[in-house]
Structures are given as C-alpha cells and as structure tokens.
Amino acid sequence: MGQSKSGSAVADAGPAEFPDARRAWYVVILLTLLYALSFTDRLLLALLAQPVASALTLTDGQLALLLGAGFAIVYALSGLPIADRIDRNDRVKIVVAGVALWSVMTMASAFASNFWTLFALRSGVALGEAVLTPAAVSLIGDLFPQKRRAVPTAVYGSMGSMMSTGAFVIGGAVLAFSGTIDHKVGLAAWQLTFIFLGCPGLLIAFLMLFTVKDPRHAPQANTTKLAGMTFVEMLGYLRGRSGFYLAFYLGLALITTVSMGTISWMPTAIVRNFGGSVQQAGYQVGAMGLTAGILSTIFWPWLAQWLAGKGRKDGTLIGLLASGAIAVAALVLGIGQSSLNLVLGAFFVAMFGLASVGVLAPLALQMFGPRMIRARLTSLYILATSLFGYALGPLVVVGLAKFWTGPNALIHGMIVNAALAGGLSCLAFLLCLKASRRMDHQPD
C-alpha cells in the first residue's frame, strides 16, 4: 500500500510491497537527522566537561563515569528489551518516544545540580538513544527491497562516522552563540547549549509522529514463527546458527576494540611523540578520520552491492573481513613510523577500514537476519560494540602500553591491540563467512 491520502508515509504493506522511493527516502532522511542529533547530544558533555565540572564541582573520576561507562552500560543493556518491543509494536511510535526522552533529558541536563542528578539524566539520554538504531535498521529493511538497501543504510550509517567529530563542531558553534546571550537570559553558556541542542530532536520527533506510518510487512510463510518469538525462543534460534552469529558478533566486538582504542589515544600519542598542541593533534586526527569515514561509508556498501549483483550474498562479510585486514595492516605497519605524515597516512587508511563496521554490520543483518527479529539482532550488535568495544578499547591500549616506557608507549599499545584484537576479529569474520554458506538468504 502506498502513500495515504493524508500524505503520511507508508502504511502497512504486504510481504512483497514497498512504498514509493520518495516516501521511503523521506523516512530515511528523518532517521538520519535523528542519528546526527543523537551523536550531538551524546557527545555534548565531552565538549562542556570543563564548565560543567566547575559548576557542579565534579571530580575527574565522576566526569569519566558520566562520559564513559555510565552512558555505555545503560545504552548497551537497555537495547535488548527495547528491541523486543520494536520487533512487536509500532516502530515509529517507539522511535518518537525514544527521541523525546533523550531530547528532554538533554535539555534538563542544563539544570542538573550535582553528580547524581546529571548521572540520572545521562542514563535517560542513553535509554532514549538505545531505541534509534535497532528501529532504523528494521525500518529501512521494510522501506526498500534488498537490492536497493545498501545506499539508504550507508546514508544512515555514515552519520556515525561524520558526527563522531562533527558533533564537536556543531556543539562548539552553539556554545559560542550561547556565550553572546547568556548575560541576557540569566543562564550560563553551557546551560543554554544543552537547551538549544535538545530542542531539534523534539521537533523532528513530532514531525515523524504525524507524517510517518510504520511500513511493517506482513510475515511470510517462512518467517511466521518468528513474528511472535520471545527473547528466549530467539536465543534458541541463535543457538541453531551459533557458528554464524557468534563469529559475527565476536568479530564486531574485537574490531571495535581496535577502533576505539586507536581513536581515543591517537591525539595524545601524536602530542607525546611529535609535539604540538592538543587542539592541533585533535584537528589532524579529526580531519583524517572524518574524510576516511566518509569515503569508507561510500566504498564498502558499493562493494557489497556489486558483489551481490554478481550473485555473492556474502558481500557484506567479505567487506568486513577485507576492511578489518586493511585496518590492522595500516596500524601495525604504519603508526610506529618516525614521520608524522606517515603516521597520519596510516591512521587515514586504518579509519577507512574501521569505519566500514557502522554500515556493513547493519547490511549484513538485513541480508541474513529474519525481518521479524532484526531489531533484536541489531541490539546485540550494539551490545557487542558498546559494552565490549567502547568500554574496553581505551583500557586495553593503556594496559598494553604499561609494558613500555617513554613517549611512544601508547603507540606500542595501539599496535599490539591492533595485532591481537584486530587479528582475532579477522579470524572471526573468516569463520562467519564460512558459516554463512549454511545460512538462509532472507527474502525481501
């Protein structure tokens, strides 16, 4: 069924029906804008760390908890029960509720009075943001036929690569504007920044609520049993295909450990080894990472789609294996060089490989995961990358760096992390690739 008379996007469709391209892309654009805002709201506290810590008298340990594990653990663990509801209920309404929650919590952070208040608000931001990606991957799967999913999925996923650095640009601009009017409204610039950046999410959420309908397809004959599958029953389904899913999620966790361990410490390593300011190193790393990320999210989905056109349903897995191997080789061979230009070049190549995960992983789940449980499968992807990769990556590098002394200890830690975790991730993706031959190719 196509567009309704009221102009709302896509009503319920049959098993082989998809909305027209304009309406489908309208939904993708809204989801992509929300993904961008989620990164801005998520990373805003990192930008405002100094004024917030001064205003609330936070210790470095408390600030680290708010920025790291306090957010990542809630974000990762809440995804599973939320995704269960996404697979069973109206996805659009759940997205709207999640966006409204994280937007309100972001705005309320302006009025936090102590650590525990801000901790509760950060948990609310994490809880709301945990809704978006599982729902978006599931929605895109019902908006486009399989042969046309790579591009919209890449558009959505590319926002993660761009906003991991772009969020600071947006936040910095809003903070600068807030500093020009703070004396007029009686609030500090950091408080106004929280308020201003929380508002757009609410506006897009209301727009989505009134203009988008859930395009969920009716279950097909071979997926009817999955439609009402409980979480315990889904675990049984995964156990029956453990060779594929265990290797897939393990590979994602390990390669994200490499990614986050490298991104977190590269600016500091550059300053310690080559001098210069933290701001300059941050700009160099950000420019390399942003450019490589954009190219990565264009190339790897194209490769997967090209391979699919040649009859290879495992193109996404080939891409994960190849991109991981490229990243590991660049980090092991390049970042220990004595020339800053060579180090930055190696980092660029590594990020070209590492940034593929944000696009290829959802595409793989759309290719191999049954439609009726895609949100839950996506939540497991978030669990693997957030709880293990994001939380452990920076710590692993520091732990390994203790075996060396001197300014290049962090470089050695990143190299060993890439060799061990990255090498094991490539092995996991290779095993996943072999197991995929026994997996059912999911229909549109």
The DSSP annotation for 210-275 comes to HHB---PBPPPGGGHHHHT--HHHHHHHHHTTHHHHHHHHHHHHHHHHHHHHHHHHHHHHHHHHH-
Q: How far apart are CA 75 and CA 287, in angstroms?
A: 28
Q: Which residues contact 369 (CB under 8 A, 6 or more apart)?
A: 377, 442
Q: How far apart are CA 394 and CA 414, in angstroms?
A: 9
Second CATH level (architecture) for the domain 229-443: Up-down Bundle (1.20)
Q: Which fold has domain 18-214?
A: Growth Hormone; Chain: A; (1.20.1250)
DSSP H or E segment with residue 348: helix 340-354
Whether residue 8 is predicted with pLDDT greater than 50 in this model: the reply is no
Fold match, 18-214 / 229-443: yes
Nearest Cα to Cα of residue 46 among 74, 68, 20: 68
Note the pLDDT of residue 165. 63
Q: Which residues is 13 bridged to in the sheet?
A: 217
Whether residue 221 is predicted with pLDDT greater than 80 in this model: the reply is no
Contact 413, 265 (CB under 8 A): yes
Written as six digits, the tokens of 299 are: 């190339």
Q: How far apart are CA 420 and CA 225, in angstroms?
A: 40
Taking only the tens place, the pLDDT of each residue in 296-307 is 888 998 898 889
Taking only the tens place, the pLDDT of each residue in 233-254 is 778 888 888 899 999 999 999 9
Q: Which residues contact 277 (CB under 8 A, 6 or more apart)?
A: 271
Whether residue 443 is predicted with pLDDT greater than 60 in this model: the reply is no
Taking only the tens place, the pLDDT of each residue in 336-380 is 999 999 999 999 999 999 989 988 998 898 888 887 788 888 888
pTM of the model: 0.74
Q: How far apart are CA 190 and CA 3, in angstroms?
A: 43
Q: How far apart are CA 75 and CA 63, in angstroms?
A: 17
Q: What is the domain partition of the chain in residue ranges?
A: 18-214, 229-443
Percent of the chain clearing pLDDT 70 (strictly above): 90
In this prediction, residues 415-438 reach a mean pLDDT of: 94
